Chains A and B, each alone.
Chain A
C-alpha cells in the first residue's frame, strides 16, 4: 500500500541551483515528513509538516503542503554537491500504528 509518490524520479542540477521535488498522497493525513537517504545508508529525517501548516522552513529547505490537492513539495535552495541523495516523503500508515508509508523517492544529483 503506497501512499506517497514523488516526482520527478530523478533530478540532475548544477551546484547553486534550486531543486524542487513533489509528493502526492492518497488519503487524509495529519502530517507529512521528508527524509533523505545517502547511497547505501539509512534514512535521515529532514522536516515534518503538520496538516494545519502550509509552509515550513529549515535552513535551505522549504516544504509546502496543500491538503486540498493532497500534495507536498520540497525545495532545496542553493544546492551543493553534498545534497546528492535520494529524498522520500512519508505519511502515516493509518492501518499500522505509528508506522510510515514511503514513496519511491526522488534521486537528486548535484554536480559541481
Chain B
C-alpha cells in the first residue's frame, strides 16, 4: 500500500525536552511538508522540502527543526525553544507535477506537553 505514515500517533513531552516526530512516505514524492493544527484552526506551515537535502522554513518555523536525508523521510524535531508545542502535527507529500496536484496527508501526531 502506498501512503504516508506518521509515528507516534500520540506523544507526550515534558517541558524542556526535545521530541522527534516521524514521517515516512512510499509514494516516491519529492516534496514533503509539515503543518501544525491547533483546535478549531486551519493548518499552518512549519517547514517544507522540495527535494532531498534541501528544506525551507514556513510561517511558524521557530522552535522546530527538520532534516531530509532520504527522499522517503522528513522527521520533525520539536525543540525546547518551542514554547507552546501542544498541537496536532500533520505531514504531507506531493508529486512533481507542479502546483496542479494534490497533497497527500499522513494520519497526524498529537503532541501534548505535560
The residues of A with any CB-CB pair to B shorter than 8 Å are 1-2, 4, 30-31, 33, 35, 40-45, 48, 50, 88, 90, 92-93, 96-105
**A96-B58, A97-B31, A97-B50 in contact; A44/B105 too (CB < 8 A)?**
yes
Question: What number of residue pairs across chains A and B have CB atoms under 8 A from each other?
Answer: 70
Q: In the complex, are the beta carbons of B31 and A98 less than 8 A apart?
A: yes
Q: In the complex, are the beta carbons of A101 and B105 less than 8 A apart?
A: no
Chain B window 88-114, contacts with chain A (Cβ cutoff 8 Å), 1 for yes, 0 for no: 101010100011111111111010000
User: Could you tell me which residues of chain B, from 71 to 97, have a CB within 8 Å of some CB in chain A?
Assistant: 88, 90, 92, 94
Q: Enumerate chain B residues within 8 angstroms of A101, measured Cβ to Cβ.
A: 45
Answer yes or no: B1 CB below 8 A from chain A CBs: no
* Complex-state Cα separation, A99 to B32, whole angstroms: 9
Nearest chain A CB to B38 CB, angstrom units = 10
Chain B window 45-66, contacts with chain A (Cβ cutoff 8 Å), 1 for yes, 0 for no: 1001010000010110000000
Nearest chain B CB to A15 CB, angstrom units = 25
Interchain CB contact (< 8 A) of B103 among A2, A4, A100, A104:
A100
